[in-house]
Amino acid sequence: MEQEIRKTIVVNQLGYRTTDSKIAVISGESRSFRLINKTTGEAVWEGLTGTAREDASSGLTVCRADFSDWKLAGVYSLETDGGQSSDLFVIGEDVYEAAHQALLKAFYFFRCGIDLEETYAGEWKHGKCHLTPAIVYGEDERRVDAWGGWHDAGDYGKYVGPGAKAVADLLLAYEYYPDAFTKAVPLPETDGVMPDALHECRYELEWMQRMQDTESGGVFHKLTTLRFPAPDTMPEEDNDELYVSPVSATATGCYAAIMAMAARVYEPFDQAFASGCLSASERAWEWLVRHPEYPCFRNPPEIVTGEYGDKQDADERYWAAAELYRTTGEERYHTAFRQLAELAFDKCELGWADMGGYGTISYLLSERETNSDLAEQLRTGLLSRAEQLAAVCRQDGFGISLRPEQYIWGSNMLVLNQAMLLLLADRVAQTTAYENLALDHIHYLFGRNAVGMSYVTGFGSRPVRHPHHRPSEGDGVDEPVPGLVSGGPNLGLQDEYAREHLKGRAPAAAFADVMESYSTNEVTIYWNSPAVFVLSHFV
């Protein structure tokens, strides 16, 4: 159903760690509030909210209730003298661990090509799917056996660029927060040696390797049917002919980058796999060198599945050069990186269409010598972007870095990408200046937002329950697959349901928890992946 703005008290429905700041957002004018212990029913804390102000994104007047000084573990709620109340929430040390595990486990549920067995999938089990070799579009006699990998979203397409973004987020999370991944998910591959996050990423990486053209070294852009199946189609029932779309420079650049990154990360665990990743990366790089200018990808005429087109490929090449230089130390990649850095593209973004931020982070956090004017320029640019985001956070009624016009399709990806960037900026600057602001984005994700919902299936007292996700629609199970991040509010009204039911809503409230509203309530691997990264910092 469509979500009304909740004119009440909104909190992180998972709760707050004992020593973190603890802030709720209350709709309406400033007033007194009380913290209620669920067990005793007693008010254990009383205070006054901050000054009320207009929030441009939600259209609400809001004020904040700060109870950060209360550190006693327990289950609580908030009340005001005006009769408002919050959902229950926990104060404790382990409030995010289960959600972190579920966000990671979601990638297993996205797997294509194998049985999801009850042992690992529980009631969301289903059969193997999409095992037929795919036709190379335009070459009817040629087929590619590209089984495996992750379904991209609520449909069953598989795309190299978005997949590379998702794997990069998970590998970065493992690199920077290894202690967050010591517990088994578990997965079929769990062995107590290699962390499950790396087992899961390997499943996608091996699919990508099947997408590299054996003849040219370039990488096919995507693998899909000609059109999406019906909304309640289970994966194993989607039996239409599969097609791989032509090689693209964006896919090849992303592939070269993520394979070089994987070579570095997997080397301590499996030298043969790491070596194969590096060879695949270098072969893709050679394709890029032979094709310095290449047409932007567009869907072939008969294919109407997600296009993932791009205006340019300089950012993907830049990322590839950075990762290859970091992994190999070869000067030819350093030279290419410096040359690509002179081109005009965003060097801080972490989205599937703008990969420049991954190249910048790889370069700045490399063990290679990067004390140069270019490194300083990139460092200054990244920290400047972080401060711009921080300035928006300080003005936003709910404490996040989105401006009203940024509530677009997949706004929660922006929420999480920008939280990720704030944490990475702290790492580059060796500070903790943005840690609390990044945590505010987690509070938003799990309920401290204009509609008072947790945007993660299965978590919180008011979670998303009807995502645009075909397995969750078609499996006959009441609850959706847990741990999926919904796309979130979208002022664009880009599906029929949204146009009919959400017109006139404020940007931060243009959301509907219905399967039909794919432009607000779809799920994807690359919305989950930055959520894993950000939560990894806090577990």
According to the 3-state scheme, what is the secondary structure of 183-243? CCCCCCCCCCCCCHHHHHHHHHHHHHHHCECCCCCCEECEEECCCCCCCCCCHHHCCCCCE
DSSP-derived secondary structure letter, 97 = H
pLDDT in tens, 388-441: 999 999 999 999 999 999 999 999 999 999 999 999 999 999 999 999 999 999
Q: Which CATH architecture has domain 1-95+390-539?
A: Alpha/alpha barrel (1.50)
Q: How far are the Cα atoms of 301, 351, 402 from residue 296, in angstroms, in the given order?
A: 15, 17, 29
So what's the pLDDT on residue 369? 72
Residues 6+ apart with CB under 8 A from 381: 347, 348, 360
Instruction: Tokens 């990067």: give the residue.
Output: 370
Q: What top-level class would CATH report for the domain 97-311?
A: mainly alpha
Residues of the chain with CATH 1.50.10.10: 1-95+390-539, 97-311
pLDDT in tens, 128-142: 999 999 999 999 899
Q: Which spans in 329-448 are helix H? A: 331-341, 356-364, 373-395, 411-429, 435-445
Of 509, 461, 463, which Cα lies nearest the Cα of 486? Answer: 463
Catalytic status, residue 435: no
Whole-angstrom Cα distance, residue 12 to residue 49?
17
Please, what is the angle between helix 525-538 and helix 160-176, to 10°? 10
Whole-angstrom Cα distance, residue 506 to residue 238?
38
So what's the pLDDT on residue 367? 86
Indicate left, alpha or beta for 138 from its phi (over 0: left) and psi (-120 to 50: alpha). Answer: left
| Positions of the chain with pLDDT under 50 | none
Q: Which two tokens stand for residue 204?
A: 């996608």
20, 199, 513, 537: the catalytic one is: 513
Catalytic status, residue 522: yes
So what's the pLDDT on residue 108? 98
Show the 3-state SS of 468-528.
ECHHHHHCCCCCCCCCCEECCCCCCCCCHHHHHHCCCCCHHHCCECCCCCHHHHEEEHHHH
pTM: 0.97
238, 315, 396, 522: the catalytic one is: 522
Would you say 58 and 509 are in contact if contact means Cβ atoms under 8 Å apart?
yes
Whole-angstrom Cα distance, residue 357 to residue 347?
5
Phi, psi (rounded to 5 degrees) for 25:
-110, 130
DSSP-derived secondary structure letter, 8 = S
DSSP-derived secondary structure letter, 227 = S
So what's the pLDDT on residue 368? 84
Residues 6+ apart with CB under 8 A from 395: none
Catalytic status, residue 513: yes
Of 290, 289, 353, 356, which Cα lies nearest the Cα of 323? Answer: 356
So what's the pLDDT on residue 185? 97
3-class secondary structure, 110? coil
Q: How far is CA 290 from the centre of its chain?
A: 32
Whole-angstrom Cα distance, residue 474 to residue 476?
6
468, 473, 475, 495: the catalytic one is: 468
So what's the pLDDT on residue 411? 98
Instruction: Tokens 């937002």: give the residue.
Output: 449
